Amino acid sequence: MQEFPAVLLDARLWDIVVLSLEVSLAAVGLASVVGLPLGAAVAVWRFPGRRTLIVLLNALMGLPPVVVGLAVYLLLSRAGPLGSLGLLFTPPAMVLAQTVLIVPIIAALARQAVEDAWLEYEEQLRSLGARELHAALTVLWDIRFSLLTVVLAGLGRASAEVGAVMIVGGNIDGVTRVMTTAIALETSKGDLPLALGLGVVLIGVVVALNAAAFLLKDAAQRRYG
Amino acid sequence: MILPLRLDAVRFRDIVGPLSFDLEAGDSTIVLGANGAGKSLLLRLMHGLIQPTGGAVRWSAAHAERHQAMVFQKPVMLRRSALDNVLYALELAGAPQARSQSLAALDEVGLRALAHRPARVLSGGEQQRLALARAWALHPEVLFLDEPTASLDPSATREIEAIINAFDASGTKIIMATHNLGQARRLGDEVIYLHQGRVLERAPVDRFFSQPAAPEAAAFIKGQLPWA
């Protein structure tokens, strides 16, 4: 058994770290493509059932990862609707599960940010002759640094969750083992140095991402007001 | 020419109206009244930001919205430079030579030196001047102003009033809501006095202040609450 600092030099550990980042970043990318326009649309357009959708999105922010994992598992299992794709226990399945998990987070937070800005800008932009879509795009561009924080909240949730990737990925060594599932496994096996090493890296990644986002937003605030 | 503007029994729920009057080119019109009288709502109805629930707002030419601008009580600036805020408005309007026109507009309001500053870090008075520059660049036939100096100090207010005078001199029709009597006297040619959503009096500025016909208007001028 390796000691704690030495384990950080283990290539296996870094394979796990890289896979974790690949899965979570892919999920955040997909969830942003779906969630940001969804949040913006709910913020700007008035349609029947809008308030229900807002409540639903806010409630879904707290989706339990294991439930999402179970749902995606049923979807991808051999007898399920997407079973023929053969994705279960592969990284794409993990990406899908995390995407489902964080779309509501990104959509709900984006909805709030866009709606606040929209209330402030709408009359002025319409007075200047901007049509609805153009005005909405102007607002989105103007609050892009706030939306970056929204995306990061999604990334934090994705990289920290264990339940969904455990169920649909299966925690297969060298294939679908990510930081959180490895920590859970190594802790139960008693390999505390590896678990601790992964924990340190996981926290380091999350802190570094948030620090970068904070610095970017701070610089933007100083530059653009 | 989009003027004269005709309001034909314009209503908004039971808050404003029915209002029927014409506004001609030339004279600066001050919409005066206490808080809640419906001044801001009336301006928005005329400018087309809010649709009336009854009656009609009739301009004398098509595409009237392209020949109007509005400056709000609290200026809304995009997170970009002062110059880019003016450019944004001109590009929406499809104006040629947008850049030189924007710089000229900034010159007009005395903000040329701050053209490349982020608009949102300018002071309140500077932001309101920038809002006026944005309107100036559009060469509107009608300029709506909704309490443009309500949150500004006296020196910033003087600067804003000077720019409004420049609009007037350039031939733009001024339609301004205010509850500041001194400002109404300084900038207005005629007063429309609004009380609980109705026009109680319309008169040239001098006559309105010297011999108001409506008792509520007289009380308002004396600084009394109309119902006291």
Q: What is the pLDDT of residues A124-146, one digit of tens each?
A: 999 999 988 899 889 999 999 89
Q: What is the pLDDT of residues B145-197, one digit of tens each?
A: 999 999 899 999 999 999 999 999 999 999 999 988 999 999 999 999 999 99
B139 and chain A: CB distance < 8 Å anywhere?
Answer: no
All structural domains of chain B, each given as residue ranges with its CATH number in brackets, are 5-221 (3.40.50.300)
Q: Could B118 and A126 be called an inter-chain contact, meaning their C-beta atoms sit closer than 8 Å?
A: no
CA distances from B139 to A92, B69, B70, B128 (A): 57, 9, 12, 17
In this predicted complex, what is the ipTM? 0.91
Residues contacting residue A168 through CB under 8 Å, at least 6 positions apart: A69, A72, A73, A76, A88, A89, A93, A94, A96, A97
* Average pLDDT of span A74-86: 93
Q: To which H or E segment does residue B58 belong?
A: strand B54-58
User: Does the pLDDT value for residue A154 go beyond 90?
Assistant: yes
In Å, how far is B217's CA from the nearest CA of chain A? 30
A74 and chain B: CB distance < 8 Å anywhere?
Answer: no
Name which of A218, A96, A93, A205 is nearest A152 in CA terms: A205
Q: Are B201 and B193 in contact (CB under 8 A)?
A: yes
A47 and chain B: CB distance < 8 Å anywhere?
Answer: no
Beta strands in A15-118 (DSSP E): none
User: Does the pLDDT value for residue A188 go beyond 90?
Assistant: yes
A62 and chain B: CB distance < 8 Å anywhere?
Answer: no
Write down the pLDDT at residue A220. Answer: 86
Q: Could A129 and B70 be called an inter-chain contact, meaning their C-beta atoms sit closer than 8 Å?
A: no
Q: Are A127 and B70 in contact (CB under 8 A)?
A: yes
Q: Could A224 and B44 be called an inter-chain contact, meaning their C-beta atoms sit closer than 8 Å?
A: no
Q: And the tokens for B7?
A: 């309001």
Q: A-chain residues within 8 Å CB-CB of B77? A: 225
* Average pLDDT of span B117-121: 94
Q: Could A128 and B93 be called an inter-chain contact, meaning their C-beta atoms sit closer than 8 Å?
A: yes
All structural domains of chain A, each given as residue ranges with its CATH number in brackets, are 4-224 (1.10.3720.10)
